[in-house]
Each structure stands twice: as C-alpha cells, then as structure tokens.
Amino acid sequence: MHSPVILYQFTLCPFCNKVRAALDLKGIDYETVEVSPRTKVELPELPEEAPRKVPVLRIGSDVLYDSTDILMELDRFFPNEPRLLPTEPATKETAEEIEAWVDEQFIKALPTVIYGSWSNAARAARTIGRASKFGFFQGMGVKLGGPAIMRLVAGRILKKAGRTDGHAWIQECLDQFESWLGDTNYVCGNEMTMADVAMLGGITCVDEFPVYKDILSRPKIAAWHERLVEMRRDAVA
C-alpha cells in the first residue's frame, strides 16, 4: 500500500489543475485540501526556500512543490504507466520545453481572456464568488476588488508580455500547439508526456468560461483532448 497522497490546492489554480490531471492519469489515489488564499494556514511545513504557493503535494513524508517539479518527480514515486517523463533523451527535452511553454505562454494568457472584458470579468467574479475559489485570481494580485480590478490585472499581464490582445495571444498559442501536435496523438509523439498533462490542466481550469469552447472548436485539439479525457476517465474509474 502506498503512503497517503495529499494535494494542497486552490481548485481554480491552473498549476493545481496540472497536478490533478497528472495524478488522475497515473491512477494515483489522493485527497485534496483547499488552501485559504489569504492565510494559507493549511499548507504543510515547507522547505525554507519554497514559496508559500500552491500546488504542494505530500506523498507520505515527502513534500513536493511547484507544479513543473511535481510532474517531473511523479514517475519516481509512482513508476507505473503512463510515464510523464519520456525515457528517450531528445523526447524528454522536448516534453520539458513544451511543459515550460504551457506555463509561460498558454497559462499566462488565459486570465487575459477570462477577465479581459467586462462581461467575462463579471462572469469570472460570479464563478469565483459562487465557488469561493479565489485562488488563481488572488494569486495574480486580485484581492476582493471584483471585475474592475480583474480587468486591470488582465491589462497588466498583457502589457508585461508586450501584447494588446489576449484573444490573439490565445489563438497564437493554439496554432503553436496544433503545429507541435502535427499528425501524432500527443504533443511529443505517440506517447503521452508531461507536456500533454500541463496543457490539459490549463484547459480544464477554464472549462466554465467561454474560451473553453474556442479551444475545443479546433478539431485537432478537440481530438487530442478527448483522448486524454478518456484516458483520465478510465484511469480514475
């Protein structure tokens, strides 16, 4: 029997969604603990150098943090298939690069279309209010200011990235992802890797927002997504 696995998270945080996707796809049983964004008192003791951020994953007495590091470590704790890190060095390198790109581009671009317009901002505020899931948004500097502040934050992200249009940014990301997919089942070839898991996590995170439909309106991405969703469903069953 394995040690208990506990994921400390904000439900709406895309980085936590990456880790949940990985745990599900590998068929690992885990519990989740919802962390209070303000106090984060629920977090376990962390190494001194670790930021007080989610996700944090406890496996028995081991405490892992940072979604990318967690994905990279998971095969070591759970060597069962599917592996997140390919064994072939060149493929492993590509998987790591694309996984980093998901954090740096796709996940960064998402909030700019989630609350980049007044109506989306109001919708985001309602979703958060309803579900009490402040995490992602508060993590990005949004306190309790509602749509107006969300809009400011979206603007700030765009400016920092040297962009003006969040929707165009997302479309560029999707073009890029599609071209990497090519005619293969997964983004690094015909085996699933941490790169697919990261992208799946980011997409799942916005499933209540209009951008989700835009993403899945692309047939190649929709087919890839369906493969992963099915695999995830089978693995948790």
Binding site for ligand GSH (CB under 6 A): 10, 13, 15, 53-55, 66-68, 103, 135-136, 139
Question: For residues 10 and 78, which CB has a smaller minimum distance to ligand GSH in the complex?
Answer: 10
Based on CB atoms, which residue is closest to ligand GSH, 128 or 168? 128
Report the residue closest to ligand GSH, judged by CB. 139
Buried b (16+ CB within 10 A) or exposed e, 65-88: bbbbebbbbbbebbeeebbbbbee
Going by DSSP bridges, is the β-strand pair 31-34/5-9 parallel, antiparallel, or unpaired? parallel
Residue 21 CB, shortest distance to ligand GSH, in Å, is 13
Least separation, in Å, of the C-beta of 220 and ligand GSH? 26
Is the Cα dihedral 174, 109, 196, 216 positive or negative?
negative
Shortest approach of ligand GSH to residue 107 CB, angstroms?
9
Minimum CB distance to ligand GSH smaller for 143 or for 233: 143
Give whichever of 76 and 233 is closer to ligand GSH, judged by the CB atom: 76
- Specify burial of residue 226 (Cβ count, 10 A radius: 0-12, 13-18, 19+): exposed
Q: In angstroms, give the least distance from the CB of 22 to ligand GSH.
A: 12
224 to 71, 145, 171, 191, 210: CA distances (angstroms)? 20, 37, 17, 12, 19
CB of residue 162 vs ligand GSH: minimum separation in angstroms? 21
- 122 Cβ neighbours under 8 A, 6+ residues apart: 147
